[in-house]
Amino acid sequence: MYVKGVGQARAAMLETKGLKVVEDLLTYPPFRYEDRSNVKTIRDLAPGEMATVLAEVRSTKVSGFQRRNLGLFQATFTDRSRGVLAAKWFHGAYLNDVLAPGQKIALFGKIEFDSYSGNLSIMHPEFEILADEEDGDSSLHTGRVVPIYTAVGKVSTRIFRTLLDRILKSIDPIADPLPQRILNQLKLPDLWTALRDLHFPPVDSELRLLNAFRSPAQFRLIFEEFFWLECGLELKRARARLDPGIGFALNDRVRSKILEMLPFKPTGAQKRVLKEIADDMAAPRPMYRLLQGDVGSGKTLVAAEAAIIAIENGFQTAVLAPTEILATQHFFYFKKLFQKLNYVTILLTGSNTQKEKEGLRKLAAAGLAHVICGTHALLEAGVEFKRLGLAIVDEQHRFGVEQRQKLMEKGSHPDVLVMTATPIPRTLALTIYGDLDVSIIDELPPGRKPIITKQVDDSKVEQVYSFLKKQIDLGRQAYVVYPVIEESETQAMKAAQKMHVELSTIVFPSLRVGLLHGKLRTDDKESAMEKFQRGETQILVSTTVIEVGVDVPNATVMVIEQAERFGLAQLHQLRGRVGRGGEQSYCILVTGKMSEAGRERIRTLVDSNDGFYIAEMDMKLRGPGEFFGTRQSGLPAFQIGNILRDADVLEIARNEAAAFVKNPPSEDELRRGVQFIRDHWQRRYGLVLVG
């Protein structure tokens, strides 16, 4: 549709932010509101009040360092009351190019009395330049609670306001897609009212609520956004439950094999989640379950139990891992556990030779291999299974939904168990992992002592070495890790190589020091890991390739160099490599010069061992989009909802959506809902298709 004021240039700018159609503009929310209802002439102003003044720039002046924008910018204003108002902006030198005498401007801020000049003044006011053509609209921009939008290119907050006013006045009210029953029950305003109030809040609006995104209009729009998403997920879940799946038998043989395999007594949490998994596996429909648990909580052991259920029923189990190291680790772990049971466990990765691959593929296709571990190489077209019954996917947030799908298609509706160590609140997990049911291991194996975490300045690294030496003299082992920043594994590799030489020849000439990094050949990687596992090397110098999965209970010290450069989640994962046995373990964060954010991350880690708390801090520090890697996780980009800020609304929306899908007011209403999701929401779901 054509909107007056949106020419080609503006349309192109808006499109860069995904604002393509009128509907997008209508749901482009102000990020903040200002109460500009108190419009005064300068003569009527009183010190101490918040006010809006419409005035003309009389003079401007910069003092101080203009070039580095350190200057103080001062301006004076007058209006028709002939009063004089002074304004000051520290670090405001840039304003010299923005404000000029003669301009009409709306100023908003706190009025003060400047005893030095005897004038009224205003510090760092919000301001908007009043363009001549828009003078007629000035009632939109002042004299009320005013919305503030994030500018898009040259489309300023002012232009947004004008456009939205035009749109709201010129188009017919949009019919409300939300079911009437829900509107009534939750006392939500209808869509059109909500949209109008979102952009131009009514006179009696509470500014505090608006800025907390909890005005009735905002609540409704956030709710709606979550409601349709959750309905879509609910429908998808419901449909998946209709697929035919494998009903595995849970008989005495299965039970006795599990008992035979178990090296320890499972924790209460492990037992509980195994029951959830086993119930799913026994049901004649595919399992789609997420197994969530902090690092070291014993997810892999539960996965092994699930594998036994499949294998004893005559099916194969595939284990998909994001990195070669982790796939290898799983391979060793499962092989060891399953040796007694005479299962054949194989490993298939990208670095197998063509000939090896052929052999391994034959084993899988002929059904001679029971457990097939691997990286994305498992997903290649040539890989076939005789009877795939269970697909275990580790660290799923690194895989797309697509890849999971690919693996599933290699069997006929196999059961799927996704493991993740990212501890996210349940509702979020249900949203992000969409169609998955969630099991949580919320208990660590017994006898674990909380890891002691310390920060050490890199100038005192000698102390760290002498501590390392003491631990090794006690018979323990240690990791020393270098960060991989962005994609530059090469740089980290160099740092690790250098440290390896230094530690093995200068610092600890009498100790055996191993080296592991991503650029090693696969068998060198394997042998470095095996040597450390067997205790032949006492210190393992490594890049972050060991981040996930490595399991050496005798290792009690994790030294992380340049720790301030790692992300929180990564630090927590790394720390989880120690504290896996009964001995007291330590994590030493060696830091250089720290930014404020870096300091915050280090503090969080020193203070807490709790993965949930750390994940929450991580989300807060980085924002949910980046935290989850939106695209990968299939998490849609919300326009107004924010899963962090609005977790409570998400919870409500989820419950309402479940009730609506399960028990719709009428078949017709359900059909309308499905149609609405198809028409309006599909593109925002990305991979999460609604059928």
| Minimum gap (Å) between residue 324 Cβ and ligand ADP | 17
Considering CB distances under 5 to 8 angstroms, the limit depending on partner class, which of Mg ion, ligand ADP, none binds residue 431? none
Instruction: Count the Cβ atoms, other than its own, within 10 Å of residue 82.
Output: 9
**CB-nearer residue toward ligand ADP: 49 or 260:** 260
**How far apart (Å, rounded) are the C-alpha atoms in residues 648 and 669?**
26
Going along 396-522, which residue ranges are E strands?
Answer: 415-420, 437-441, 452-457, 477-481, 513-516
Residue 296 contact, options ligand ADP, Mg ion, none, Cβ 5-8 Å cut-off depending on partner type:
ligand ADP
8 A C-beta contact, residue 105 and residue 53: no
The least CB distance from residue 303 to ligand ADP, in Å, is: 8
Q: How far is CA 449 from CA 444, 479, 580, 609, in A?
A: 10, 18, 9, 11
296 binds ligand ADP (CB under 6 A): yes
For the chain, the farthest-separated pair of C-alpha atoms sits apart, in whole angstroms, at 95
Which positions from 156 to 175 touch ligand ADP by CB under 6 A, shown as an x/- string? Answer: --------------------
Minimum Å gap between C-beta 300 and Mg ion is 4
Beta strands at 316-320 and 371-374: parallel, antiparallel or unpaired: parallel
* Binding status of residue 422 toward Mg ion by CB under 5 A: no
CB of 596 to ligand ADP, least distance (A): 31
Angle between helices 216-240 and 667-676 (to 10 degrees): 100
DSSP state of 155: B
- Residue 94 vs 612, nearer CB to ligand ADP: 612
Q: Return the closest-CA partner of residue 289 out of 440, 178, 64.
A: 440
With CB under 5 to 8 Å by kind, the binding choice for 295 among ligand ADP, Mg ion, none is: ligand ADP
Q: Least distance to ligand ADP from the beta carbon of 292, Å? A: 10
Burial bucket for residue 581 (CB in 10 Å: 0-12, 13-18, 19+)? middle
Distance CA 225, CA 639 (A): 8
For residues 337 and 307, is the Cβ–Cβ distance under 8 A? no
Q: What residues from 604 to 643 belong to the interface with ligand ADP (CB under 6 A)? A: none
369: which 2 tokens?
């291999």
The residue among 370 and 580 lying less far from ligand ADP, judged by its C-beta, is 580
Contact partner at residue 147 from Mg ion, ligand ADP, none, CB < 5 to 8 Å by partner kind: none
267 binds, among Mg ion, ligand ADP, none (CB under 5 to 8 A by kind): ligand ADP
Task: Write the interaction track for ligand ADP spanning residues 567-586; mark x where CB under 6 A is met and - where it is not.
Answer: -------------x------
Out of 23, 276, 551, 669, which residue is the one contacting ligand ADP (CB under 6 A)?
Answer: 551
Nearer to ligand ADP, 33 or 333 (CB): 333
Name the DSSP letter for residue 503.
I
Q: Is 270 in the site for ligand ADP (CB under 6 A)?
A: yes
d(CA 170, CA 362): 67
* Residue from the set 45, 53, 273, 295 that interacts with ligand ADP by CB under 6 A: 295
Stretch that binds ligand ADP, among 159-167, 223-231, 266-274, 595-603 (CB under 6 A): 266-274
Q: How far is CA 415 from the centre of its chain?
A: 26
> Which residues 485-514 are close enough to bind Mg ion by CB under 5 A?
none
Q: Which amino acid is at 654?
A: R
Residue 298, binding choice from Mg ion, ligand ADP, none, Cβ under 5 to 8 Å by partner class: ligand ADP
C-alpha span between 447 and 224 (Å, rounded): 47
Tell the smallest beta-carbon distance from residue 127 to ligand ADP (Å).
Answer: 54
**Rounded distance between C-alpha atoms, residue 689 and residue 439, angstroms:** 23
Q: Report the nearest approach of ligand ADP to the CB of residue 593 (Å).
A: 33
Q: Are 399 and 418 within 8 A, CB to CB?
A: no
Distance between CA 195 and CA 492 in Å, rounded? 51
Q: Which amino acid is at 308?
A: I
First to last CA, the chain: 29
Strand 415-420 to 388-394 pairing: parallel
Residues 282-301 that bind Mg ion (CB under 5 A): 300
The answer to whether 456 touches 659, Cβ cutoff 8 Å, is no
Name the residue nearer to ligand ADP (CB basis): 143 or 266: 266
Q: DSSP assignment, residue 518?
A: T
Binder of ligand ADP out of 121, 297, 396, 471 (CB under 6 A): 297
Q: Are 410 and 422 in contact (CB under 8 A)?
A: no
299/376 with CB nearer ligand ADP: 299
Note whether 434 binds ligand ADP by CB under 6 A.
no
Contact pick of 158, 236, 289, 299 for ligand ADP (by CB under 6 A):
299
Cα 462 from Cα 485, distance rounded (Å): 25
Q: Which of 109, 445, 624, 673 binds ligand ADP (CB under 6 A)?
A: 445
Helix, strand, or coil (residue 237)? helix
Q: Quote the least distance from Cβ 4 to Mg ion, whole Å.
A: 59
Question: Rule CB under 6 A: is residue 329 a binding residue for ligand ADP?
Answer: no
Binds ligand ADP (CB under 6 A): choice among 300, 316, 349, 591: 300
Residue 143 or 581: the one with the smaller Cβ distance to ligand ADP is 581
Nearest alpha carbon to residue 145 among 28, 37, 32: 37
Q: Is 264 in the site for ligand ADP (CB under 6 A)?
A: yes
Helix axes 216-240, 191-199, angle to 10 degrees: 130
Q: Where are the alpha helices (H) located in 200-323, listed in sequence order?
A: 207-211, 216-240, 252-261, 268-282, 299-312
Residue number with CB closer to ligand ADP (90 or 264):
264
Q: Which is nearer to ligand ADP, 126 or 551 (CB)?
A: 551
Q: Which of 142, 215, 267, 349 binds ligand ADP (CB under 6 A)?
A: 267
Find the part of the chain contacting ligand ADP (CB under 6 A) among 296-304, 596-604, 610-618, 619-627. Answer: 296-304
Question: What angle in degrees, to the nearest 10, is found between the helix axes of 324-338 and 299-312?
Answer: 60
The residues, ordered by sequence, that sit 6+ positions from 148 with a Cβ below 8 Å of its Cβ are: 30, 31, 32, 33, 34, 157
Q: Determine if 65 is a binding residue for ligand ADP (CB under 6 A).
A: no
Q: Which does 577 bind (CB under 5 to 8 A by kind): ligand ADP, Mg ion, none?
A: none
Between 262 and 456, name the residue whose CB sits nearer to ligand ADP: 262
Residue with Cβ nearer ligand ADP (265 or 662): 265
Q: Which residues bind ligand ADP (CB under 6 A)?
A: 264-267, 270, 293, 295-301, 421, 445, 551, 553, 580
Q: Which residues bind Mg ion (CB under 5 A)?
A: 300
